Structure 1
């Protein structure tokens, strides 16, 4: 769907530029944008490589296990369905730590791994999977490293000025996400007996 959307936007822009006689400006804009994209990509590649390296060092040194244990109270509160020895807890902790640092790209591999570990193979998203997804969308950011890098790349006079507003906005979104998830978990618990009865009725009917 997104491919069609972006393709349509590009096509409409080219047709509009051709109709207005601005193809020269469009070509120049494309070249400048491509140059900016390469420069930004190199900057973000360096940032992501650095933080992924830090996380790998932490993993080999046992810091991630220590960090996961320290996050046990929070993980128990957010994911009551995941037992203490569940294999998804470590990648969840890494993902949350990366998101708090504003490293969305660095958080992605751990997030995918956590989802795979939580998948029960039933074809239905579990409560823990839904909670994890919503928390990723809200994404509390203590230090928005990526945003600061973007602002620095584009010549901001004060790249770190975004820290306060980002912390406030993501705190509000994360609080709303946690409240929503806890409400849905309660509703899901109430629905479990109903689902169980329906499964029993279907089994009896067969």
Structure 2
């Protein structure tokens, strides 16, 4: 059967959802690996990573079951959810790629202030203290090994060096996956309106 037929659409949709399942398991596994090796101690960061992984796994599972069974309701909800994710992810990716230096610094500072539970992990692994400034007389305790020395750099000076590259990579990856999502929406729409050649020819599935 030529590509574009019922079987080709079904197999393509199954492969795409298997890819999403692998990505979701990788995301959950990375969070678990980070905890196991002591790279991440913040339960909030781990919780977000695991929640996103589980959500992606459920969505991909719905799409996979819908594709295998040619289930109209599951495919419809899968298509709608995937389109919403595409819009959000495409917007975030474009914003990440379009940020200038000043906007990047503001975004990093906001992120730093809202991740207090992960600040000690960042300080420890980047060997820095505070974001823009840090005082030894402060009640806060820095987890970096350079805390006892007099030349401990701020985390902003280290993070800002790599922020543009990281945002470009994250934006590029998000941009790529957003196109796989719109491909999934198109495949699902097409697959829903195709007839199963093994079914009753007079039945519209």
Question: What TM-score do the two structures reach when normalised by structure 2?
Answer: 0.34
Question: What TM-score do the two structures reach when normalised by structure 1?
Answer: 0.34
Higher helix share: 1
Q: Give the structure, 1 or 2, with the largest relative contact order (CA under 8 Å, sep 6 or more).
A: 2
